[in-house]
Structure 1
Amino acid sequence: MLRYGLTALAILLFLLTLRRSGERAGRLAERLETMEKTHDAQRRMLQAAARRPHSRDDLAERLRHGQF
């Protein structure tokens, strides 16, 4: 009888550990997705900053040629 109790306890502990591991994996996946979105936004901002006119004269030139 004690053997069945220990087996049931071992199975229960295994399932709880498995559940906790799954929750941790879910949180890590969510964190990764958030980091990817943040990285994408930062990359787009850096690309936009690289294309910006460097002076007022450059801006005026772009506006004259309709390239803004």
Structure 2
Amino acid sequence: MPITVTLDVMLARRKMRSKELASAIGITEANLSLLKSGKVKGVRFDTLEAICRELECQPGDLLAYHPSNGAPS
């Protein structure tokens, strides 16, 4: 998939553990882990908002788009 989640990078920059973030935003560590690994099909805007609030970042700091080679435009 051309969208990658860079949440682990932002957590490292903020020196925050996944457990702390999960607790602060009210989701399970397991769900946060799935999000970090990119194994989810989507993310609720209220969850994204809570992550951005806690990490003091923008949604674009957590997601990256890498177009596939040879994919039609």
Band of TM-score, shorter chain: under 0.3
| Structure with the bigger percentage of helix | 1
TM-score computed with the length of structure 1 as normaliser: 0.19
The TM-score normalised by the length of structure 2 is 0.18
Which one has the largest radius of gyration?
1
